[in-house]
Structures are given as C-alpha cells and as structure tokens.
Structure 1
Amino acid sequence: MTNSAADAVPDSTLNLLLCNMKDYKIFLCSSAVCVFAAVFVAAQEIPAPLTLRRCMSLAEANSSELKIQSEKLKQAGYAYAQAWSGVWPAAGYEYAKLYRDTAGGAYQTGLSDSKFTFRQPIFYGFRNTSAISYAKALVRKEELQYKTLHRNLEAVLTSAFYDLALADADMANVKNSFKLLNERLGELKDRVRLGKSRRSEALAVESQLATLEANEQKSYYDRSKAVEALAFLTGLSPDSIAIIDDAPLPPGPGDLRKYIEAVRDRSDIEAARQDIVAQSYRLKAAKGAFLPTVNLDGSFYHIRSGSMADSRWETLLSVELPLFQGGARRSVVKQEASRLMQFEESVLFLERRTETEVRGYYRLLDSSLKQAAAYGKAYDKAGESYRIQIKDYRYGLVNNLDVIQAMTGMLEAKKNLDRALIEVKSAKALLDITAE
C-alpha cells in the first residue's frame, strides 16, 4: 500500500515538497542565527555595573593631572642628571687658524692651533655638591607629589561615586513610593465606587503623587549631575555609566590614634619636608658663594704654531676668591634663610590641617554609623506601623489620612536609612584615603 501510494505521487510534486522542506530548514537556521545575534548584541550594549575600584582604574588612565605630573617627574630626573655635570670633568676640542696682513714682513699668517681642552672643578664652595643634593630632593618631591595627586583623585572620585549612589538610592525610593501610592489610589478608587470612601481621600493621594513627580524630576537632575561628574573623571560616556557598590559596611569607626599616626607620613607632608631639605641645600650653596673657587685646566696640542710650537701640553691651576660685591651675597643668604623658615612653618601648618581633616572624617563616620543604626530602628517601627494601619483601615478603625501619614513616615525612614548607609561607606572610604 505504501509503495503504491508513493508511486502514485508525481515526481514534480515530490521535488516541490523537498524544496519546501529545504527552504523551511534554511528559514529556521536563519531565524535562529538572527535571534542569537540580537541577543548577543543586546548583551554587548548593556554595560556592566562599575565598582568603585573599577572606576578608580579608569580615572587613573584618564587623568591628565597624573600624566602631567609624570612628565614633571621625568624633568626632575633630567635636572638631577644635569647637576652632576658640575663635578665631573669637562673635555673639548678647539681648532683655530689665524689670517692677517703681513705687510712689512713682521707678522706671519696661516698660523693654526689644534688642541684638546680639559677642565676639572676642584672646589666651588660646596655649591656643585649642594646643587646635586638639591636636585635629588626635588626628584623625591615630585614622586611624593604624584602620590598626592593620586590620593586627591581617589578622594574626588569616591565623592562622585557615592554622590551617584545616593542619587540611585533616591530614585529607587521614588519608584517605590510611586508603587505604594498607586496601589493605595487603586484601592481607594474601588472604595469610592462602592461608597466606602470619600472622593477627597483619593484626591489627597493624587496630590501626593503629583508632589512625588516633582521630587522625581529633582532626582533625575541630581543623578544626571552625578553621572556627568563620574563620566568626566573616568572618560566614559554618561549613557554607559551604571554603578554597583560592593563595599562592606564597617563595624565601627576604628581607632582614631591609628589614623592620626598614619597621616603624619602622608605624601603631601613628606613633599613639604622635602622642600625643607631642598631649601637647606640652597642655603648652603648661598653661603658657599663667600668661599674661593678652584679649577684645574689643561690642554693637549695636536697642532701648535708660533714660538711654542714644540710645547704639546699645559696645565693651569686657578683660584678665585670673592672679596666684595656690594652686599649682594649676604642678602642672598638672608633670603634663602627666610625661605627655609617659611617651609618649616608650612610643614607645621600642613600637619595641623591634615590632623584636623582626619578628625573631621572620623567624626563624620562615627555620626553616620549612629544615624544608620537609629534610622534602621525607625524604619522597622514605621514599617510595622504602616502594616497595622492598613489592616485597621480595612476594618474601619482608622481613616485614609492615618494610612497616608504612616506610609509617608515609612518611606521617609527608608530614604533616610539608605542615605545614611551610603554616607557610612563614603565617610569610611574618605577617612582611609585621607590617612594614606
């Protein structure tokens, strides 16, 4: 039966069926490829949330200040290498050929000298060695300045990151408020239709929603401003920025003395101390200007003309002693001594200021932790109160205004709790950065 039925089908019909099946398979494969490609592209377009550590890596690569400071550090290294030229011997080559009028036959022309010259500084009143030490101190200062700029960048980035975290938390709370109020409004409208609630109660909720819309626009603006700040630091497009805060909550503020001890060796304070070191060498060099200078010069002649044509070398030891220059040297010494006192006072001021800064962040962290604990209790109580008010409202024990007031209190407590928790993390991060 099967064979006879197959034989009864014309060949053209079989070919058509086979072609349709092939086309269908190709269509299925093409559709699968398109769906996979669309899913892959969509996955590629969704940016992965950025952690604080990842943002810092991007900011380091994007920072023009760090790049500029790197060049300054290189320049300080080159200046240090140049300073050594003041103590090393100098060598050169000179060639001279003299042409002059030979009228009367008294003078020769075409005389030439070819010689190698050498100079070895022997003593410059400690000015050359002071210049080396001064340049070395500046190299160290530029290294410390790089660390200071890096720490400042980390502090600015941390503030921008947690500003965005605050804005995101506010946006989430606004959306949650919309959800609860809309649920409340829907229930009220049903009760109004049934005659169990007044129209004014629904209008009160609608008024709350209108106010919430204004708050939502303010939250949008705050978030866009925070995103722009983070985009500027990281070099990313504002549209691609989304963050995730993976930092744990600190159990407590820690030991204040530990932070104060750590801040005394901070890079900006060490850089200020390097100013003192460098200035002490400038003062030493200024005092050295009162001392004599001693040089040893020598020449080796390859070609020499005149009466000393047979003399191939010569050496000169020279000593120069400054006697009087109108008091200029003494004024320079006083000027450099005054600058040294200025730098010493700057270090003391900077130490006091940084210690005050650390104490401020420590108090902020301690206060934020206590606020977060209090807001946590307030949120738990407000949430419990709201749930009881909803239950009592359905039994007619309270009115709608009581429910809205309980809801508003719960939402406000939730907002305050979220902000306090973020401020705890921000204060902890800034305290750690300040003490680096």
Structure 2
Amino acid sequence: MTERPIVSRRSGSGLLAALVMTAAGCASGPDYRAAAVPAAATGAFVSPATRAVAHGAELPDDWWRLYEDASLDALVQTALAANTDLRIAQANLDRAQAMFREARSAQWPATTVSGSAQYGRDAAASSGPGRAPVQWSYSGGLQLAYEVDLFGRVRRDIEAAQHDAGSMAAARDAARVAVVAETTRAYVEACTLGESIAIARESVTLTSHSLELVTQKWQAGSASRLDVERAGASAARARAALPPLQGQRQATLFELAALLGRPPAAVPGTAAQCLQAPVLRGPMPVGDGAALLRRRPDIRQAEHRLAADTARIGIAVADLYPRITLGATGSRLRNDAGNQDWSFALGPLISWHFPNVMAARSRVGQAKARTAASLAAFDGTVLTALKEAEQALTIYDASLSQHEALRDARDRAGRAYRLADQRWRAGAIAYLDVLLAQADHVEARARLAASALQVGNDRVTLFRALGGGWTAAAVSPYPPSSDR
C-alpha cells in the first residue's frame, strides 16, 4: 500500500475497476473482538445462600411483579411511559440512530442538483450587427460523487456509529432499570411508612392512656407526681416520633409523583392510601454471575463504547492513505433563442493529505489510547457490577437477620410490658417498672418498623444491582424512522 505503481493510460481504468471490486474486502485498523471476562466472574455469587434468596433461579425482567401488587404494577408502567429521564434517554438514542443512518449514507453516491435562470443581453449569442436581444437563459446540472472505500474508512465510520447507537440503547435500558427500581422503592417506602405511622399512632394512644391512668391514680392519692411526669414524658416522646414519619412519607410520595412525570399535587392515590408494605411471597431469585453480566445494561454500554473506539482506530488509520472519489457531472444551458449546450464529465479524484502524515499518525495513537481506556473502563464496569451485586446480597441478608432479631425483641418487649402492667395493678411493683417496660415496648415496635423500611430499601437495591427491569431489544442496523 505504501508504493504507488506506474501504469499506462490504457491499463489505468482496469486497475481502478479492480480496486473498486476489492474495496469491500479491505478495512483499516483492528477488528473488534469481545472483551474477555474472568471465568470466576461467571460462577455463583460468593455471598452464602439463604432462605430469602434463590441462587439457582433466574431473575425475571419484570421483577416488581414478584410483589403481586396490582397498584405497583400500574405505577411502574406509568413511570416507564412518562418519566422525564427516560424521555431524555430515548431522545439520545434517536439522535444516535439518526447519526448511524447518516454514516450509512456514505455508502451511496452523493448527488447535487443545481438550476438557475438569468435575464439579460448575451453579446456572444448575437449573430448580426446591432445590440444583442434581451432574453432569458436557463441552466441545470447534476453532480454525482462516490467515495471508493478502498481502505475501509467509511465502513469503520459506520461500525463506530452503529456501536454508538448500541451504547445509547444500553444507556436507555440502564435508565429503565433505575426508573423501575426507584419507582418500586418509593412505593414500598410509602407503604412501609404508612404502616410505621399507624404503629406510631398506636404508641401515642398507648402512652396517652397510661398518662390518663396514672393521673387518675395521682389524683386519688395512689400514685406520685413523679409517676405522672414520667408518664407524660413517655407520651410526649411517642407524639414526637410521629411528625418525622409523616414528613418522610409525604416527601416519598412527592418523589414518586416526579418519577411518574407528575407535579407534587398529583400524588397517586393508590400510594397515598397504602398502609401495608408489600412483601415477596417466596425466595428472591438472583441467578449467578453469568446471568448478571448478561442483564446489566451498563456492561453492554461499556462494551459498545469499546467496540466503537476500536472502529475509530480504523478511521484514523485510513487517513494515512489516499481517498479516491469517482465523480460525474452533467449540465445543460438553453436560452429563448433556442440555443442550447450540453456538457458532461466523468473521472476519479485522488486526494492525499501526505504532508500531514505525522498528524494522522498522532490521531492513530490517540485512538489506540482511547480504546485502551475504554477496555479498562469495561473491565472496571464488570468488577463494579459484581461488587454491587455481592454487596447488595450481603447487606440484604444482614438486614433480614436484623429484622428477625428485632421482631423477637418486639414480641418479648410486648410480653414484658403486659406482665409489668399486670403486676403493677396487683400492687407488686412500682409504676416506674411499668413505664420502663412500656418504653421498651414502644421503642422495640419503632425499631422493627424502621427495620422493615430498611429491608424494603435493601431488597430494591439488590434488584437494581442485579440489572433487572428493562426489555431486551437489539439495536437494528436499520432503525425505524420516518425519514428513512
């Protein structure tokens, strides 16, 4: 390729035809090969199996349906249709697909049509003495230009644009994963907080009743003023726990409205009325590392970026060699006198920025460095996906264990409070012991409710880390478009 052969005028057209015939089989730069993933990354998760998760079961794409909650299903579908982040991601994908179509258009000849009309005197058109007549003259032309992709520049440009579109499709899918997860999280959190508020109100009722009772005892002379103040403090603490929960729930509902593409005033009624947290009916399916790598859109996005940057090495390499363009032009000129003229030209154009070869080689080096960075980014994305999944599994398991222990503590604190109340009524203990037992009971219930909120959030975090929530659809080389 570095030597330019000397050919005769007769053989030049034959050589050019041969070059055109072989152009389809030549492409500059390296071909992309799928990046290698460590074998250990495709095996079972390191986190130990528990009753709450099923390692052998595949995570369904519509994982939120595992909650078996029709209201949640409807909210997720609304978010997928109206969320503003998803609209942005879809617009970015549409733009990338349009750029891909633009790159593909370079495979075909470029056409330019021209036309003009002029009114005036044409001295050259006069055949006799005197002034030339005033007349109209018209001209029209057609120009064709076709770049012979001898060194694969056009092909690599198409390849890069196609992978750019694939990257944007993966980014759209990643946005879907995020929107589904955050919509589910907001709904579950709103329902769980509704349940927590109900528990807090029960605690307010319980402590208020105790305050009334000990006040009556004090007025009757069978209880001390100290007992009344302690009971009043317990009731005040119970009331103080209620407003933060109500504020947090309202903020969560506003967040849910935004995820649905609505203003805060349009909070969905199903979520506002939900007072019981949805739960999974069975173990949570998590699959294995291989399934995780297939599901995670960010891994597909990183791989498409790597493939696009690999193709751009070929684009840079192709700039080291000449560009060959076949051109044809035709034009016609006519005036009112009936005079007309035809012209036609056909031939190749060879352009070569030879004096800038050092700059071109520098661009090749830049493209290779960018590809090396994309490869490192891909490896990092794989490691991050595995790390996030393992962390989410570990934290979810720990949250469940804590929740079970807090449930046991709640039950024991409830029994202790009932026993203390019975013994106080029998005169066996002071009311201080009742208040202490009651405080333990109220705190245990509140901590269990907070733990339920944490379990719900950690479960959704695990679902998101596993990469579920998008509908797989390959980017077509011919994406649907009204302008195609």
- Sort the TM-score into its range (normalised by shorter chain): 0.7 to 0.9
Task: Pick from 252, 255, 258 the counterpart of residue 229 of structure 1.
Answer: 255
2:187 is the alignment partner of 1:187:
no
CA gap 1:200/1:82 in 2 versus in 1, 3 angstroms: same
Partners in 1 of 2:218 and 2:123 — Cα distance? 125
CA separation of 1:88 and 1:209: change in aligned 2, threshold 3 A: same
Q: Distance in 2 between matches of 1:178 and 1:112?
A: 93
Return the offset for 1:94: 4.0
3-state secondary structure, aligned to 1:84? helix
Contact 1:304 1:310 in 2 (8 A): yes
Partner Cα separation in structure 1 for residue 255 and residue 367 of structure 2: 43
Note the C-alpha offset of 1:122: 2.0
Q: Which runs of 5+ in 1 are unaligned?
A: 1-48
Give matches, 1:100-111, under 5 Å: none
User: Equivalent residue for 2:471?
Assistant: none
Deviations 1:196-230 (A, max 9, x none): 32233222211211232322233333333333322
Q: Secondary structure at the match of 1:295?
A: strand
Q: 1:138 to 1:73 in 2, by over 3 A?
A: same
Report which structure shows greater RCO (CA 8 Å, sep ≥6).
2
Helix, strand or coil: the match of 2:111? strand
Partner of 2:462: 431
Q: Does 1:271 align with 2:297?
A: no
Partner of 1:20: none
Question: Residue 294 of structure 1 is aligned with which of 310, 324, 338?
Answer: 324
Q: Distance in 2 between matches of 1:205 and 1:397?
A: 19
Judged with a 3 Å threshold, the aligned counterparts in structure 2 of structure 1 residues 249 and 398 are, in CA distance, closer, same or farther, namely farther
How does the TM-score come out when normalised to structure 1? 0.77
- Asked whether 1:390 is paired with 2:390, we answer no
Are the aligned partners of 1:125 and 1:285 in contact in 2 as well (CA < 8 Å)? no
Determine helix, strand or coil for the equivalent of 2:217: helix
| 1:75 partnered with 2:104 | no
Classify the secondary structure of the residue corresponding to 1:118.
strand
Correspondence for 2:74 among 43, 54, 61: 54
Matched, 1:347 2:364: no
Q: How does 1:200-239 map to 2 (within 5 A)?
A: 200-234=226-260, 235=262, 237=265
Structure 1 residue 144: Cα displacement: 0.9
For 1:219, give the aligned amino acid: L
Identity of aligned pairs, percent? 19
What does 1:234-383 align with in structure 2 at a 5 Å threshold?
A: 234=260, 235=262, 237=265, 240=269, 241-244=272-275, 247-249=278-280, 258-265=287-294, 266-303=296-333, 313-325=344-356, 327-383=358-414
TM-score by length of 2: 0.70
The 3 A distance-change label for structure 1 pair 314 and 221 is closer
How many residue pairs match? The answer is 381
The CA distance in 2 between the partners of 1:244 and 1:60, in whole Å, is 25
Counterpart of 2:171 (choices 132, 136, 145) is 145
After superposition, give the CA deviation of every residue in 1:302-343 in whole Å (9 maximum; x if it has no partner).
Answer: 5589xxx88764421333344221611111111111111111
User: Who is 2:224 aligned against?
Assistant: 198
Q: 2-side partners of 1:245 and 1:313: how far apart?
A: 81
Question: Aligned-residue CA RMSD in angstroms?
Answer: 3.2
Cα deviation code 1:372-411 (max 9, x no counterpart): 1111211221111112112111111111111111111122
Give the match's secondary structure for 1:291: coil
Taking the aligned partners of 1:104 and 1:303, their CA distance within structure 2 comes to: 16
